[in-house]
Structure 1
Amino acid sequence: MDGSELKKGNLPKIVEKFEYDAAVGGNTRVENEITTFNHCHQRINEIKSLTSAIANPNSTKLVFQKLPKHMRRRAMSHHPNRLPRKYRLAHRAQMSKSGAPAQTKRPSRKYRRKPSNILAAYQRRQRANIWLETHIWHAKRFHMVSKWGYKLAESSCDKTFRSSYRATMKHCLIQDISYVGNIEIRGPLDVLRNKFERMRGRTPDLGLCAKAYVGGQREGTIELFSIDAYPYGALGRFQFIWKRENDNDALRTLWLFAHPSVYQKLVDELCELFELELQDDLENGVKKHMNNTINAELYEMRHQLNRFRLTGPLSHAVLTAAFKPKITSTSEEKTWFVDYLMEEKNRKIHQTQTKHWNDLKHIKSAIDLPPGMILGLNIEDPRINRPKKRTKALPLIDSPMDDGADVCCTIPEFNGDSVLWERNKCERIQNEKVSTHEICVQRNKNILVPGERCAFENKLQAVPVLLIQRPGSKDPKNLGYGNGYDVIVPPGYGISTWMCLIMWGAKPGALREMETVAREALEDEFLPDTTSSIVNSNLMANELRKKYFRSPPNKRQNYLKLSIASPFKCPWMQLIQEWCNTSSPTEPKYYVLRDKNKLNKINQFLLGKERNLTDIDENCLIPVSLAMNGRGNAKKFSIICLPKKQDIRNNEKNRNEFINRPVLSEPVAIDVNETQRKLLRLNHLKMLKRLRRRRVRVKRKQQEFVDRKVIIAPSHTTKQTKLQYDRMCELWLPSAPKAIRKQCTRDVFGYLTQCQFMFHEAKVSGVGYVTVNGIRELAKLGVNQKRKLNQVLVRDPNSSIYRFATLSIRYH
């Protein structure tokens, strides 16, 4: 607009600005100018409240909530020291108003690591489970489990499965088996012989009172049963040692070593057998049972000795390097060993044992010694005979011994003598033991040359030990595997001896290695009819079943579709009952066949050299070993099935064409409980929702009459939930299967109890048990087909594939 237009009076038209006002809901006119006085007058109340808030800050937020986000920590609400210093006082004031308890300062690590406090904590933790003397050492390096009332090492934290096997084959593996309990029985030899005849099997094996064992020079192994119950009621396999008889000893002493799962059962059977009564007085911390009529006594020495097991060809070399016989000296202080050598007989025993041990130093392995040989030694304190760093002990081959064959084949008369048989001496040895701290202090004072022996170490008391030779496996395929020594050490010297053997090259093992050694030797640690096996199988089945149901339904293996009736346990009783020809209302008992003559007859029957098995009881289980013919893997609880004619033809066809496909695959079965499970779960959820709605209605009614907040009542549905869980478990996996023999398309006549890849055979092998009637059916099938009689089908419980395996009778 130019000036001429202004002069004419043409003023510009003012355009009004309209904006949308959300509060009014339409257009409104906005002022071009605002008067300051009027605006402040209208906002005077807001200014006053803002000024008051700045002068008197009152906030609902806590102090630690006002910090910037990058400085906030979750632990600040409980630990004021997490906050900056200037906020700590205000934070404590806020926490005290809420009624929170004052935070007590945790004791310092220096206080917690005091010896007295550590000891008190250890004693508190041992109330639930008993600790071995090597527990602290194992707890730092192994996975620990609670078993049989003990806290035991299960497996190493490192990957040591193959290295442990190499140790058993070429080196030395050591295991702490001090959980094996000791029972001492005293009485006349005739009484002991007659009584134990009622508990042993009627087999041609050597008995408890055989001449080979009564002299106290060898350790024996025996199968014991309940009183007058053979062949049923098996207790287990036990090791035993006789104390050497003196000229004036009318009573004989016997040590029985029992597994903790059957220890109390064996004690009860022995008390009933000898008619013993528990005495009120306790002698040296052991339980005492007596029968004055027959002059018999029983002592429970469950935690009185340490026992270590050394396995492998270098076990002898490790013991030779670690155990040095104590040299007699007149300048020693007053110890038990000085008093022991005052008698001429004891000096002769010590000299004989020392000479025999020195003569055996140059042998290569323990397998060269007589089976079960016992050797007692009085050695130097193991703490003064360990190398500075871990060293691999090797056999001494530089100077071979003279007349080696005679030394290895003969056992001196006094070999088994030891003061470990006397409980008062063992208690004195434990009390007179010099602590490791005192040894270090004295060594620092008296040592002249670093690393050399000092005079103080020669004054330490001797330590009595018992060495027991183990011959190893008797199987021709792996003869001698697992040979080594068992070392019995007095109480108080367990960890000292353990560390000495470890430093000389022994590789530590645990319960897993115990099963591996037994499996590689084709032996079963627990036979199915023994008390130990029943206890352990029930515990394992409960653990595996709980683990199975902890997984969500879409992650569980549906065993109903796989036609597997019992994936976590071997139902021997039901298997025997379904295979017995006679139908009786009572459940038949079962037992494992141990008679080697009958086992040999069954083996000849499979080879076609024996026509019938009429004298074999139908209620017995036959121990067998299986080896997979080709590909395929089998695990524990795998089923052993009878093949059909078509299976044998398909297997031969695949072998001729070099095809590795399976001969048979189990068809997927129909899960008859699937609909019922879904309906049961739906009804259960409806019930829970209905109960919750009922509790909500009750809460709302109560809220109408009170001012405070009403909390909803607890559900109290634990009983219903537990019942629902049990019903669902039964629908997923019935605890009492309807059929075992006919659970799948092939007849089941046995189970595998141990199976894995065998290193010495380079194939998958295992041990198991089958029924007698199943062996007969297998033989009929082989005769009709004019083929081998030892080919069976094996199927893993988690797979639908059948594989052929070779069956052979196992002489355990």
Structure 2
Amino acid sequence: MDVRALLEAHVDIEIGVADTACHRDVHARRATCTCTIVSRREARQDRTTPKHPLMAPKRPAETDEASHKARKKQRVAFARDIAVQAATSGSNQVNSSLPNLIDVEKFAQARSFEINAMKTSLDNTSTSGTHRVWQTLPRHLRRRAASHDARRVPLRLRDKAKAEMHPLKTGKDEGKSSKRKKKPAKSKPTHRSFLMRQIDKCWLETHIWHAKRMHMKNIWGYRLAESPTEKSFRPSYRAAMRDCIIHDASYFATIELKGPETLLKDLLRHCCDLQGPGPWSLRYSGGSRCAETHIYAPDMYPLGLIAPVEIYWRPPPPSTEKDTDKSRLIWLRVHPAAFEAVFDAVQKCASLVLDQHNGEDQEIEVADLRGQINAFELIGPKSSQIIKGALIPTEGNNSAEFTKFWDSLNNLQSSGSVPRGMVIGLECHDPRLSFPPTKARPTKQADVFGTFPSSSLSQSDIWSEERRGCLVKPRYKKAELDKRREANVTPGTRLRPLRQDDRIPIMLVQKSIGTADSSMHGWTLLIPKGWSMPFFTSLTHTGSRVGGLRERLYQSFGSGVRHFPSDYPSTSAYLSYVQEQAAIAEDLEARRPIAKRPPKVIPHERSKETVAWRAIQHIPYSDETLLAADRNSEASNPSKTSWLLRGSELISLLNTLGNSPEPEAALQDRITDIRKSHGVVSESITPLRLDEALVTVRVSMSGRGVPVDLCEIYSIPKGALEQAQAAQEESPDEESTEPRQIVPENLMGYVTSGSYCLSQGHGYALGCVSLAALLHTIKEHNQGSSLGVGTSLPVKIRVSAGNVCRFGKLMVLS
């Protein structure tokens, strides 16, 4: 009986092969086949019957229909075939040359079958591929519900997405058209409804754009973007190092000072950092550069640190004679977490300066410009080309100096070659007229940047309050500009600027983060209020990434620069930051099962930071102290007991203290000399103690291990370090040589920001250590020698909840 016939008759065949007697010749073997025919129904019953009475029967196999793999293979093979028209008899005459003229209509009609076959094959191939429509979209256009909702894909692909959806799986029947009940049309959100949602917080002008693509957070009185919703941690770092990343920094506050130049300089001496060239020097007072400094409480330097600030001088008008009594303008851009403290300090300094000049009829005006100046930070080597492609300067910027600068942006490989803090003022057309912008391409090999800061180049009308008031609202809406674009003869051409179109004064400021090899460079773009979205749309259209607060924090962290307020433990803004982080940690811990919670080393989470800085100062504490500190915020303020020693002369100051027999007295004398050199003398000077001073340091892990926030930094005695090095040579296993014994007396400080650093390629952290412990470690390991800029000290890092310490290298950050 034929085997195929048996299969069609629903029977199974079991063939057993048995070898008969073997002969010497292998090829002479014979096989006997034993066939056992069993009915398929009986075999199925035998297979589905469980061998054990408690076992469930197996699901019968469905072999009647073709498998999914076979159907997919058949569908793909069908889609790859192109129909061919059967050959027909024609003329035997063949032209040896091409015809002079072709009738297009007859030519296409004669080949209509091939054209239709090619079109049908292309459609079948695109619809029968391994990817669905929503999978072919770029990642930033994908939506979670696009797999079952066709409205989540772009309009051009919506029909194809509907065809891919199975009506049984989606629960929708495409064949039946369900009539919707008429409902009253919902009115779109109005400006009034948006204002009602900003009662307890403030939105930036780009809030709607960010809210659709970012994780938003209420912080510092604003609703700000924290991080993108897509996975973009590494792409954001690559953009900052190779391309460009944009951050809307319009939440930074601006304080305006107006008064005579001599009084403004005296005011800055009373509240700014006194080390290095200050913002009152000729380097910055001309308005060609931005001064990056720190604000202190009036006449309290180096105590009473408030926050870092950026100071801009309005360039004086071109004149032959210099008049120091003429009114000048200064802008202070400060972080919103410290705005109130900085504003109060500036007002007190203004009163102090006016009291010193009591006999003169002069005044200083202090104004709050929050919300009047918007800012964008562009970081990356291609930020110059993006600015050049998005902005179109007006005809008024026709000076030779500006033309040379603007032409050099094409070939600028990085804004790091531009002088640090250089200010450029210009006036540009409405960016919507030239939308979509094109990224400027290099035209030749990059030359040396030959433009230097000057007061004439930094002139801008953005300083004028009257001019900013005229530009609060754009004159033309986008719909009106689109109607003008429709009237163009050639579609897609840019609109020609008219006389009545807006001309916006802006200011470009060179921005550098860090001074080492891992530093990042870019530009800060200052624009008037009301123009964030027109500029933001053009800046992001060329493929630049957009970052939030997390990306901005990591830019400072990767460049080895302090980030405010997380790396300033002696400020009141840091205390607010700590309390917020403690509240988040308590919330996460409360949601964790009790058996899975780590043991608490410190009983009160909100007082953890206070205890940390008390510990490195060797101040005893108890539970009652913690309870009192938790109830009274003033008692828990670390600025009451600690202060941050920083500045450009920090390395030389440490060498002076290390070689002095009485370092505390030497510190007091050095600070007094700095204060007297700038005319800052107060009646009562608070004595400075080494155990209360904190120094910011950078910690790089020698091997494995990633430090996190609040990791403990311990010094390694020289004897213990030699033993560990000897054990390392004997045993290559690093785990066995890690120091496990913790000596509380060797505690130097704590990590304020720690993570894996992509620019370093290993664990990296920023922290603060006690000045007294740092001087002791320098003397022990450097044998009294001076501390260089790149000198590192061996330390060990311990996680607060663990017992294992990791080796690291400590470097002082000035």
Output the TM-score relative to the length of structure 1.
Answer: 0.65
> 2:579 & 2:466 partners in 1: Cα distance?
40
* Residue of structure 1 in register with 2:295 after alignment: 224
Alpha-carbon spacing, 1:305–1:789, altered in 2? closer, same or farther (3 Å): closer
* Residue of structure 2 in register with 1:125 after alignment: 197
Q: Per-residue CA shift, 1:138-180, capped at 9, x if unaligned?
A: 0000000000000000011011000111011111111011000
Deviation at 1:761, TM superposition (A): 1.6
Match of residue 811, structure 2, among 805, 808, 811 = 808
- Contact kept in structure 1, 2:586 and 2:605, CA below 8 Å: no
> 1:605 & 1:777 partners in 2: Cα distance?
11
> 1:565 & 1:801 partners in 2: Cα distance?
23
Aligned: 1:426 with 2:497: no
Aligned: 1:493 with 2:531: yes
> 1:307 & 1:350 partners in 2: Cα distance?
26
Aligned: 1:398 with 2:438: no
More off after superposition, 421-430 vs 351-360:
351-360
* Residue of structure 2 in register with 1:240 after alignment: 311
Match of residue 620, structure 1, among 670, 685, 693 = 693
* Residue of structure 2 in register with 1:747 after alignment: 746
> 2:531 & 2:184 partners in 1: Cα distance?
29
Deviation at 1:600, TM superposition (A): 3.6
Q: Per-residue CA shift, 1:582-603, capped at 9, x if unaligned?
A: xxxx997321112443434536
Counterpart mapping for 1:151-166 below 5 A:
151-166=223-238
> 1:228 & 1:498 partners in 2: Cα distance?
41
* Residue of structure 2 in register with 1:196 after alignment: 268
Aligned: 1:631 with 2:718: no
Alpha-carbon spacing, 1:779–1:431, altered in 2? closer, same or farther (3 Å): closer
Deviation at 1:363, TM superposition (A): 2.3
- Contact kept in structure 1, 2:431 and 2:534, CA below 8 Å: yes
* Residue of structure 2 in register with 1:436 after alignment: 478
* Residue of structure 2 in register with 1:324 after alignment: 392
Where 1:302 maps in the other structure, the secondary structure is: coil
- Between Structure 1 and Structure 2, whose CA radius of gyration is higher? 1
- Contact kept in structure 1, 2:474 and 2:531, CA below 8 Å: no
Where 1:661 maps in the other structure, the secondary structure is: helix
Match of residue 552, structure 2, among 514, 517, 529 = 514
> 1:415 & 1:156 partners in 2: Cα distance?
37
- Contact kept in structure 2, 1:624 and 1:768, CA below 8 Å: yes
- Contact kept in structure 2, 1:244 and 1:416, CA below 8 Å: yes
Aligned: 1:111 with 2:163: no
Counterpart mapping for 1:9-408 below 5 A:
110-112=185-187, 114=188, 117-203=189-275, 205-246=276-317, 247=319, 250-275=326-351, 293-327=361-395, 347=396, 353-354=402-403, 356-387=405-436, 393=439, 395-398=441-444, 405=448, 408=450
- Contact kept in structure 2, 1:662 and 1:802, CA below 8 Å: no
Q: RMSD of the TM alignment (CA)?
A: 3.4
More off after superposition, 507-516 vs 609-618:
609-618
Aligned: 1:792 with 2:795: yes
Alpha-carbon spacing, 1:661–1:362, altered in 2? closer, same or farther (3 Å): same
> 1:186 & 1:349 partners in 2: Cα distance?
30
Where 1:198 maps in the other structure, the secondary structure is: helix
- Contact kept in structure 2, 1:368 and 1:408, CA below 8 Å: no
- Contact kept in structure 1, 2:613 and 2:749, CA below 8 Å: no
Alpha-carbon spacing, 1:169–1:226, altered in 2? closer, same or farther (3 Å): same
Alpha-carbon spacing, 1:157–1:578, altered in 2? closer, same or farther (3 Å): same
* Residue of structure 2 in register with 1:774 after alignment: 773
Counterpart mapping for 1:548-567 below 5 A:
548-560=589-601
> 1:236 & 1:450 partners in 2: Cα distance?
52
Deviation at 1:242, TM superposition (A): 0.5
- Contact kept in structure 2, 1:783 and 1:789, CA below 8 Å: no
- Contact kept in structure 2, 1:384 and 1:457, CA below 8 Å: no
Could you tell me which runs of 5 or more consecutive residues in structure 1 were left unpaired when the two chains were aligned. Answer: 1-104, 278-290, 328-346, 581-585, 668-741
> 1:210 & 1:148 partners in 2: Cα distance?
33
- Contact kept in structure 2, 1:383 and 1:500, CA below 8 Å: yes
More off after superposition, 550-559 vs 226-235:
550-559
Deviation at 1:226, TM superposition (A): 0.5
Alpha-carbon spacing, 1:646–1:125, altered in 2? closer, same or farther (3 Å): same
* Residue of structure 1 in register with 2:453 after alignment: 411
Q: Per-residue CA shift, 1:554-577, capped at 9, x if unaligned?
A: 1211133x9999896364641353
1:767 counterpart letter in structure 2: L
Where 2:491 maps in the other structure, the secondary structure is: coil
Q: Per-residue CA shift, 1:705-746, capped at 9, x if unaligned?
A: xxxxxxxxxxxxxxxxxxxxxxxxxxxxxxxxxxxxx9x766
1:398 counterpart letter in structure 2: K
> 2:779 & 2:619 partners in 1: Cα distance?
16
* Residue of structure 2 in register with 1:578 after alignment: 618
Deviation at 1:398, TM superposition (A): 3.0
Alpha-carbon spacing, 1:545–1:349, altered in 2? closer, same or farther (3 Å): farther
More off after superposition, 504-513 vs 643-652:
643-652
Q: Per-residue CA shift, 1:399-440, capped at 9, x if unaligned?
A: 76xxx54x6342343222111111111111224521112111
> 1:417 & 1:266 partners in 2: Cα distance?
27
More off after superposition, 746-755 vs 175-184:
746-755
1:443 counterpart letter in structure 2: R
2:292 counterpart letter in structure 1: T
- The share of aligned pairs that are identical, in percent, is 23
Q: Per-residue CA shift, 1:628-680, capped at 9, x if unaligned?
A: 1111121011111133544652354135422120545769xxxxxxxxxxxxx
Aligned: 1:529 with 2:532: no
Where 1:232 maps in the other structure, the secondary structure is: coil
Alpha-carbon spacing, 1:298–1:465, altered in 2? closer, same or farther (3 Å): same
> 1:500 & 1:659 partners in 2: Cα distance?
55
Could you tell me which runs of 5 or more consecutive residues in structure 2 were left unpaired when the two chains were aligned. Answer: 1-179, 354-358, 621-634, 668-688, 786-790
- Contact kept in structure 2, 1:325 and 1:354, CA below 8 Å: no
Alpha-carbon spacing, 1:434–1:229, altered in 2? closer, same or farther (3 Å): same
Q: Per-residue CA shift, 1:104-157, capped at 9, x if unaligned?
A: x99958423x2xx33232111111210001100000000000000000000110
- Contact kept in structure 1, 2:316 and 2:455, CA below 8 Å: no
Deviation at 1:789, TM superposition (A): 7.9
1:162 counterpart letter in structure 2: R
Alpha-carbon spacing, 1:411–1:201, altered in 2? closer, same or farther (3 Å): closer
- Contact kept in structure 1, 2:617 and 2:770, CA below 8 Å: no
1:805 counterpart letter in structure 2: G
> 2:498 & 2:614 partners in 1: Cα distance?
64
Deviation at 1:504, TM superposition (A): 1.9
* Residue of structure 1 in register with 2:757 after alignment: 758
Alpha-carbon spacing, 1:431–1:165, altered in 2? closer, same or farther (3 Å): closer
> Number of residue pairs matched?
576
> 2:184 & 2:501 partners in 1: Cα distance?
35
> 2:350 & 2:398 partners in 1: Cα distance?
34
Alpha-carbon spacing, 1:500–1:110, altered in 2? closer, same or farther (3 Å): farther
Deviation at 1:796, TM superposition (A): 1.7
- Contact kept in structure 2, 1:642 and 1:746, CA below 8 Å: no
Alpha-carbon spacing, 1:621–1:150, altered in 2? closer, same or farther (3 Å): same
- Contact kept in structure 2, 1:145 and 1:153, CA below 8 Å: yes
Deviation at 1:624, TM superposition (A): 1.1
1:449 counterpart letter in structure 2: T
- Contact kept in structure 2, 1:180 and 1:257, CA below 8 Å: yes
Q: Per-residue CA shift, 1:735-790, capped at 9, x if unaligned?
A: xxxxxxx9x7663220011111122221111111111222244346547999x982
1:594 counterpart letter in structure 2: R
* Residue of structure 2 in register with 1:591 after alignment: 643
> 1:549 & 1:293 partners in 2: Cα distance?
62
> 1:317 & 1:109 partners in 2: Cα distance?
49
